[in-house]
Structure 1
Amino acid sequence: MFDNILEQQKIQKAQELKELGINPYPHFLKKEMSISEYKAKFIYIKDIENQRDENAHGVLAGRLKLLRIAGKSVFANIEDEQDNLQIYFNQNILGEEYFAILKKYLEVGDIVLVKGFPFMTKTGEFSLHVEQIQIATKAIVPLPEKYHGLTDIEQRYRKRYLDMIMNSEVRKDFILRSKIVSYIRSFFDNKGFLEVETPMMHPIAGGANAKPFVTYHNALGVERFLRIAPELYLKRLIVGGFEAVYEINRCFRNEGMDLTHNPEFTTIEFYWAYHNYHDLMDLTEELFAMLLDKLKLDKKLEFDEKIIDFSKPFERITYKDALKKYGGLDDELINN
Structure 2
Amino acid sequence: MERSEQELVRRANLEKIRELGIEPFPAATFAVTHLAKEINKTAEFAEDNLSTNLTEVTVAGRVMAQRIMGKAAFASIQDSSGRVQIYVSRDDIAPGEDKALYNTLFKKLLDLGDFIGVTGHVFKTRTGETSIHVKEFTFLGKSLRPLPTPKTDDEGKVHDAFNDPEQRHRMRYVDLTVNPQFKEIFRKRSRLITAMRSYLDGLELMEVETPILQTIHGGAAARPFKTFHNTLDMPMYLRIANELHLKRLIVAGFDGVYEFAKDFRNEGMDRTHNPEFTLLEFYVAYKDYEWMMDTCEALLEFSVKTVNGGETTTVKIGDNTIDFKGPYRRLTMADSIMEYTGEDINDADEDALRAICKRLHVHTDDSMGRGKLIDEIFGEHVEAKLIQPTFITDYPIEMSPLTKKHRSKEGLVERFELIINGKEIANSYSELNDPIDQRERFEEQAKLAARGDDESMPMDEDFLRALEYGMPPTAGIGIGIDRLVMLLTGQKSIQEVLFFPQMREENLEK
Letter in 2 for 1:209: A
Query: 1:163–1:209: structure 2 CA closer, same or farther, 3 Å change rule?
Result: same
Task: Tell me the amino acid that sits aligned with residue 78 of structure 1.
Answer: I
Q: Does 1:5 align with 2:18?
A: no
User: 1:211 matched to which residue of 2?
Assistant: 223
Q: Aligned partners of 1:159 and 1:66: how far apart in 2?
A: 21
Which of 253, 256, 264 is the aligned partner of 2:268? Answer: 256
Contact 2:120–2:135 under 8 Å retained in 1: yes
Task: Show the counterpart of 2:48.
Answer: 47
Which segment drifts farther, 137-146 or 186-195?
Answer: 137-146
| 2:332 matched residue in structure 1 | 318
Report the Cα offset of residue 41 of structure 1.
Answer: 4.8
Q: Deviations over 1:301-334 (max 9, x none)?
A: 3324333332321111101112222x33422699
**8 Å contact kept, 2:51–2:124:** yes
Equivalent residue of 2:12, what SS? helix
* Deviation larger for 273-282 or 144-153: 144-153
Total equivalences in the alignment: 333
Offset at 1:212? 1.2
Q: How many angstroms does 1:46 deviate by?
A: 4.8
Matches of 2:330 and 2:52 in 1, distance apart?
Answer: 63
* Greater relative CO, 1 or 2 (CA 8 Å, sep 6+): 2
2:117 maps to 1:117: no
1:265 and 2:277 correspond: yes
Shift of residue 45, structure 1, vs aligned partner = 4.3
Tell me how far apart the structure 2 counterparts of residues 270 and 303 of structure 1 sit (CA, whole Å).
28
Q: 1:8-41 CA distances to partner (integer Å, 9 max, x unpaired)?
A: 3212211221122111111222212222233445
CA deviations on 1:113-144 (whole Å, 9 max, x unpaired) are: 00111111111011101111111111112101
AA paired with 1:292?
A: V
- Of 192-201 and 254-263, deviating more is 254-263
CA root-mean-square deviation: 2.1
C-alpha distance in 2 between matches for 1:23 and 1:79: 21
CA distance in 1, matches of 2:285, 2:345: 38
- Alignment match, 2:147: 143
Give the distance between the partners of 2:273 and 2:129, measured in 1 at CA: 43
Q: Which segments of 5 or more consecutive residues in structure 1 lack a partner in the other structure? A: none
Secondary structure of the residue aligned to 2:329 is coil
Structure-1 residue corresponding to 2:312:
298
Residue type of the alignment partner of 1:14: L
The share of aligned pairs that are identical, in percent, is 37
> What's the counterpart of residue 286 of structure 1?
298
Question: What residue in structure 1 maps to residue 250 of structure 2?
Answer: 238
Give the TM-score of the pair, scaled to structure 1.
Answer: 0.92
1:65 alignment counterpart: 64
Measured in 2, the distance between the counterparts of 1:333 and 1:287 equals: 32
Would the aligned equivalents of 2:149 and 2:178 in 1 still touch at CA under 8 Å? no
Quickly say closer, same or farther: Cα 1:240–1:333, change in 2 above 3 A.
closer
Report the secondary structure of 1:113's partner residue. strand
Rg larger for: 2
> Cα distance 1:241–1:19, how it changes in 2: closer, same or farther (>3 A)?
same
The answer as to whether partners of 1:86 and 1:128 remain within 8 angstroms in 2 is yes
Q: Which residue of 1 aligns with 2:399?
A: none
Distance 2:135 2:216 in 1: 63
Go from structure 1 to structure 2 and tell me whether the alpha carbon gap of 1:109 and 1:58 turns closer, same or farther (over 3 Å shift).
Answer: same
- Displacement of 1:171 after TM fit? 0.9
Q: CA deviation at 1:264?
A: 0.5
Match of 1:91?
90
Letter aligned with residue 86 of structure 2: I
**Distance (whole Å) between structure 1 residues aligned to residue 53 and residue 329 of structure 2:** 62
Aligned equivalents of 1:305 and 1:12: distance in 2?
A: 52
- How far apart are the structure 2 equivalents of 1:301 and 1:321? 28
What is residue 37 of structure 1 aligned with on the other side?
Answer: 38
Shift of 1:97: 2.1
Alpha-carbon spacing, 1:332–1:280, altered in 2? closer, same or farther (3 Å):
closer
Partner Cα separation in structure 2 for residue 146 and residue 317 of structure 1: 49
Distance 1:298 1:323 in 2: 32
Q: TM-score, normalised by structure 2?
A: 0.62
Partner AA of 1:99 in structure 2: Y
> SS at 1:331's partner residue?
coil
3-state secondary structure, aligned to 2:119: strand
Which stretch has the larger CA shift, 167-176 or 196-205? 167-176
Residue aligning to 2:132: 128
Question: In 2, distance between residues paired with 1:247 and 1:158?
Answer: 28
Structure 1 residue 164 corresponds to structure 2 residue 176 = yes
Residues 46 and 61 of structure 1, relative CA distance in 2, 3 Å threshold: farther
Tell me the residue number matched to 1:76.
Answer: 75
Aligned AA for 2:299?
A: L
Change in 2 beyond 3 A, CA 1:112/1:262: same
Instruction: Determine whether 1:331 maps to 2:344.
Output: yes
Q: Which moved more, 1:135-144 or 1:301-310?
A: 301-310
Kept in 2, the 8 Å contact 1:320–1:334? The answer is no
Q: Quick check: 2:87–2:132 contact (8 Å CA) kept in 1?
A: yes
The superposition leaves residues 50-79 of structure 1 with CA deviations (integer Å, 9 ceiling, x where unpaired) of x14799211111111111112222111111
Q: Is the 8 A contact 2:62 2:113 kept in 1?
A: yes
2:322 matched residue in structure 1: 308
The equivalent of 1:178 in structure 2 is: 190
Cα distance in 2 between the residues matched to 1:10 and 1:321: 66
